[in-house]
Amino acid sequence: MKALLETGQVRRLLIRGTNWVGDSVMAIPALREVRRLLPRTHITLLVLPWVSDIYQGSPWVDAVWLYDRKGRHAGAAGRIRLIRSLAQGGFDAALLLQNAFEAALLTRLAGIPLRAGYRRDARGWLLTHAVSIDPRLEARHQTYYYLDLVERLLGRKRTLDAPSPAQEKTTPELSLRPEDHTLARQRLEQEGVGFRGKVVGVHPGAAYGSAKRWIGDRYAQVLDRLTQTQGAEVILFGSRQERPIAESICGHMAARPLVLSGRTSLSELIAMIACCDLFITNDSGPMHLAAALGIPTLALFGSTDQVATGPLGSAAIVLNKNVECSPCLLRECPIDHRCMTRITVEEVFQEAVRMLRAGG
C-alpha cells in the first residue's frame, strides 16, 4: 500500500473526527501532525455538533463542518444531503479518525478518491488505504492510536518506533481566545464567584457509568475542607443528566458551591475550566479538556485504564489504587466498587492542597 502522500498532491483533505469529547481531545495530536506534514493542504474537519466547540479557532484545521444527525442530516434524506455537500467539497482525500462503517460509506458515496482509515467495522473494502491496527497500541495511550494512523498513512517516521518519543508530540493542547476567557470570568462573577482566592472546578460525573465515579459524600468532604482551610471557591460542572449528582454532593456540604451542571455550552465549559486553579474529576471528557488547557488536574481513576485514557500534560496527576480487578472497563461495579472506595478523602484533600500551593 502506498503512503497517502505518494499517491499525489492532496490539496483538499477531509478528516472525519471522533464523536465524544474525550476522544476529540485525544485526537488533537494527530490533527497537529497532519497540519505539520501537509502545511499547504486545506483541511476540513467533519464532526458532530456537540464536540465542534473544541475546534473553535484551532490552528490545525481550516474549516469545521457539522454532521447534524438530529437536524439537517437526519434520516435518509439528511444523509443524502450530507453526501452531496461532501461531493461538492472538492476533496482529494478523506482521513477517517472515526472507526464507524458509516464514515467510510459516506465518503465512498461522495466520490472522494482517496479514503484512509483503520480496517475496522467491516469497512476495509470501502477504503483505498485501509490500515491494520499495530498490536503495540494496546499498551499505549489512546493519543497514539490516532497519531500512528496519521504517521503510517503519510509515510513518515512513526512515534511508536522511536525509543523515547517526544512528550510534546503526543500531548493534546487547547488554546483559548482572550475574549472567551474574559466572558467566562464575567459570567462566573455574575454567578457569585469572587476570585478572592483559589477557584476549584469539579466534575463529579462520568457519562459512561457509575463505576467511573468517586463517592459523592467524599467529594463533599474534600470540597468543604478546601473551602474552610484554603478559602477555595468551588464550582461543580457537568451535563444536565449529571445535575442530580451535583445536588447530592451539595446536600452533604456545609457551604453550597456554585452548580453549573447543565447550564453551560461546551465552549462555555472550556472557557470556565480555564478560569480554575485546580480541576478535580473522574475519568471523563472534562478531565481531558482541563489537562489540554494546562489546568492542574487531579483525576480519580478506578474502573478504567490510566495508561490508555489518563490525562496528559505536566499539570495532571492521577490517583488510582490499582486493585486486582481494575481496569475492568465496566459501566457498573458488580461487587463493592473497591477501586474507588479505597481512594480516601484525606489523600485527595492532601493532593489537592499540594497542587493548589504549587500553582502559586
Q: How far apart are CA 124 and CA 116, in angstroms?
A: 9
Both ends of the chain: CA-CA distance in Å? 53
**In this model, does residue 1 exceed pLDDT 90?**
no
Tens of pLDDT, residue by residue over 5-41, are 565 678 999 999 999 999 999 999 999 999 998 999 9
Checking phi first, is residue 46 left (phi over 0); if not, alpha (psi -120 to 50) or beta? beta
- The predicted-structure confidence for 232-259, as pLDDT tens digits, reads as follows 999 999 999 999 999 999 999 998 999 9
pLDDT score, position 314: 85
Q: What is the pLDDT of residue 3?
A: 67
CA dihedral 105→106→108→112, nearest 10 degrees, is -150
Task: Indicate if 179-358 has the same CATH topology as 4-160.
Answer: yes
Which helix (H) or strand (E) segment holds residue 316: the answer is strand 316-320
- pLDDT tens digits, one per residue of 159-214: 887 754 445 578 899 988 899 999 999 999 999 999 999 999 999 998 888 999 99
User: What CATH class does 4-160 carry?
Assistant: alpha beta
> What does the alpha-carbon distance between residue 23 and residue 16 come to, in Å, rounded to a whole number?
13
pLDDT, one tens digit per residue, over 92-127 is 999 999 999 999 999 999 999 999 999 999 999 999
Amino acid at site 61:
V
| Tens-digit pLDDT profile for residues 278-312 | 999 999 999 999 999 999 999 999 999 999 999 99
DSSP, residue by residue, 179-246: HHHHHHHHHHHHTT---SS-EEEEE---TT-GGGPPPHHHHHHHHHHHHHHH--EEEE---STTHHHH
Q: How far apart are CA 258 and CA 241, in angstroms?
A: 17
**Which pTM was predicted?**
0.94
**Domain boundaries, given as residue ranges, for the chain:** 4-160, 179-358
Share of the chain above pLDDT 70, in %: 95
Question: pLDDT per residue over 199-234, tens digit each?
Answer: 999 999 988 889 999 999 999 999 999 999 999 999
Provide the Cα torsion 323, 325, 329, 334; round to 10°. Answer: -110
- What is the predicted pLDDT for the residue at 164? 47
Give pLDDT, residue 208. 82
Encode 318-348: b = buried (16+ Cβ within 10 Å), e = exposed.
ebbbebeebbbebeebeeebebbeebebeeb
> Inter-axis angle of helices 243-251 and 216-230, to 10 degrees?
60
Residues 6+ apart with CB under 8 A from 105: 123, 126
CA 312 from centre of chain: 11
Q: What is the pLDDT of residue 8?
A: 60
CATH 3.40.50.2000 fits 179-358, yes or no: yes
